[in-house]
Chains A and B, each alone.
Chain A
Amino acid sequence: MSKIIRLSEARRGDRGVIVQVGTHCHHEEHEVELERRLLELGLVEGAKVELLHEGLFGRDPIALKVDDMRVALRRREAASLNIEIGGEA
Chain B
Amino acid sequence: MDAMVKSLRFALVGNPNSGKTALFNALTGSHQKVANYAGVTVERKEGRVQGTDGKSLIVTDLPGTYSLRARSLDEEVSRDVVLGTRKGEAAPDVLVCVADATNLRLVLRLALELKQVGRPMVMALNMYDIAQRQGLQIDLEGLSRDLGMPVVTTVATRKRGLPELIAAVEEQAKHAAHQSEWHAPSAAEVRTAHREAERLMKAHVQPPARPDTLTGKLDAVLLHPVAGLAILFGVLFVMFQAVFTWATPAMDGIEAGFALLGQWLGATVTNDLLRSLLVDGLIGGVGSVLVFLPQILLIFLFIIALEDLGYMARAAFLMDKIMGGAGLHGRAFIPLLSSFACAIPGIMATRVINAKRDRFTTILIAPLMTCSARIPVYTLIIAAFIPNTTVWGWVSLQGLVMFGLYAGGIVSALLVSLVIRRVLWRGMVEPFMMELPAYKMPDIKSVLMNLWLRAKIFLKRAGKIILPLMIIVWALSTFPYPPEGATGPAIDYSFAGMMGKFLEPIFAPIGFSWQMVVALIPGMAAREVAVAVLGTVYSVAGAEENIGTLATVLANDWSLATGLSFLAWYIFAPQCLPTIGVVQREMGSKKWTAIFVIYLFALAYLAAFITYHIAVALGAG
Binding site for B on A (CB under 8 A): 21-22, 32-42, 44-46, 52-58, 60-61, 63, 67-74, 76-77
When chains A and B are docked, how far (Å) is the Cα of A45 from the Cα of B195? Answer: 10
Shortest CB-to-CB span from A62 to chain B, Å, is 9
Contacts of B434 in A (CB 8 A): 41, 71-73
B69 at the interface (CB under 8 A from A): yes
Nearest residue in A to B186 (C-beta to C-beta)? Answer: A36
Q: Evaluate contact between A45 and B322: CB separation under 8 angstroms.
A: no
> Bound complex: CA of A63 vs CA of B185, how far in Å?
27
A39 contacts across to B, CB distance below 8 A: 187, 190-191, 194
CB pair A42–B105 under 8 Å, yes or no, is: yes
Q: Which of B185, B225, B324, B435 contacts A54 (CB 8 A)?
A: B225
User: Does B577 interact with chain A (Cβ within 8 Å)?
Assistant: no
Q: A76: which B residues are within 8 A, CB to CB? A: 429, 431
| Interface locus among B312-320, B379-387, B411-419, B447-455 | B312-320
Per-residue CB contact flags for chain B residues 53-74 toward chain A (1 = under 8 Å, else 0) read: 0000000000000110101000
Q: A57 and B223: CB pair below 8 A?
A: no
Other CB < 8 Å A-B pairs besides A36-B187, A61-B320, 17 of them?
A: A22-B187, A35-B187, A36-B186, A37-B433, A39-B194, A42-B106, A52-B216, A52-B223, A55-B317, A68-B103, A70-B437, A71-B433, A71-B434, A72-B434, A72-B435, A74-B432, A77-B432
Pick the 6 closest A-B CB pairs, nearest first.
A56-B225, A70-B436, A73-B433, A53-B223, A40-B66, A39-B190
Interface members, chain B 181-195 (any A CB < 8 Å): 185-187, 190-191, 194
B435 and A40 contacting across the interface, CB-CB below 8 Å? no
Interface presence of B200 (CB below 8 A)? no
In the complex, B226 has a CB within 8 A of chain A: yes
Residues A44 and B194 in contact, CB atoms below 8 Å apart = yes
B433 in contact with A69 (CB, 8 Å)? no
Chain B contact residues, CB within 8 Å of chain A? 66-67, 69, 71, 103, 105-106, 109, 185-187, 190-191, 194, 198, 207, 211, 215-216, 219, 223-226, 229, 313, 316-318, 320-322, 324, 330, 429, 431-438
Q: B190: which A residues are within 8 A, CB to CB?
A: 36, 39-40, 44
B433 touches A63 (CB 8 A): no
Tell me the complex Cα distance, A22–B106, Å: 19
Asked whether B225 lies within 8 Å of A55 as measured between CB atoms, the reply is yes
Q: Is the CB of B219 within 8 A of A70?
A: yes
A56 touches B229 (CB 8 A): yes
Complex interface: chain B residues within 8 A of A67 (CB): 105
Q: List 19 A-B contacts (CB under 8 A).
A: A32-B187, A36-B67, A39-B187, A39-B194, A40-B66, A40-B69, A40-B190, A41-B435, A44-B191, A45-B191, A53-B225, A56-B226, A61-B432, A68-B105, A69-B103, A70-B437, A71-B435, A72-B316, A76-B431
Inter-chain contact count A-B, CB under 8 Å?
Answer: 114
A34 to B190, CA, bound (A): 13
Query: How would you classify the secondary structure of chain A's contact residues: helix, strand, loop or mixed?
Result: mixed
Check B66 against A41 for contact (C-beta < 8 Å): yes
Do B105 and A63 touch (CB < 8 A)?
Answer: no
Distance of A76 Cα from B434 Cα, bound (Å)? 14
Q: How far is the CB of B215 from chain A (nearest CB, A)?
A: 7
* Assembly CA distance A25 to B229 (angstroms): 37
Cross-chain contact B225 with A63 (CB below 8 angstroms): no
**Residue among B66, B71, B187 facing the most chain A CB atoms (10 A cut-off):** B187
CA distance A21 to B198 in the complex (A): 17
Alpha-carbon distance A22/B191, docked complex (angstroms): 12
Which residues of A sit under 8 angstroms from B186, Cβ to Cβ?
36
Roughly how many angstroms separate A38 CA and B198 CA in the complex, as a whole number?
17
Complex: chain B residue closest to A65, CB-CB: B216
Residue of A nearest to B208 (CB): A68
Nearest-Cβ distance from residue B328 to partner chain A, whole angstroms: 13
Contact B187 A63 (CB under 8 A): no
Bound-state Cα–Cα, A56 to B433, Å: 17
Q: Which of A40, A44, A60, A72 makes the CB contact (< 8 A) with B313?
A: A72
Query: How near does chain A come to B222, taking the closest CB pair, in angstroms?
Result: 9
**Cβ of A46 to closest chain B Cβ, rounded Å:** 8
Q: Which residue of A lies closest to B316 (CB)?
A: A72
Name the distance in Å between B233's Cβ and chain A's nearest Cβ: 12
Complex Cα distance, B322 from A57, in Å, reads 8
Task: Give B214 Cβ to nearest chain A Cβ, in Å.
Answer: 13
Kindly list chain A residues whose C-beta atoms are within 8 Å of the C-beta of B322: 57
From B113, which residue of chain A is reached at the shortest CB distance?
A40
Picked from A46, A53, A74, the residue with its CB within 8 Å of the CB of B320 is A74
Nearest CB of chain A from residue B440's CB, rounded to whole Å: 13
Choose from A33, A44, A52, A55 the contact partner of B318 (Cβ within 8 Å). Answer: A55
> B198's closest neighbor in chain A, by CB?
A46
Q: How far is the CA of A40 from the CA of B327 in the complex (A)?
A: 25
**Of listed B106, B225, B226, B433, residue having the most chain A CB within 10 A:** B433
Complex Cα spacing A77 to B66, Å: 18
Rounded to whole Å, the gap between the CB of A81 and the closest CB of chain B is 11
Which residues on the A side are within 8 Å of B225 (C-beta)? Answer: 53-56
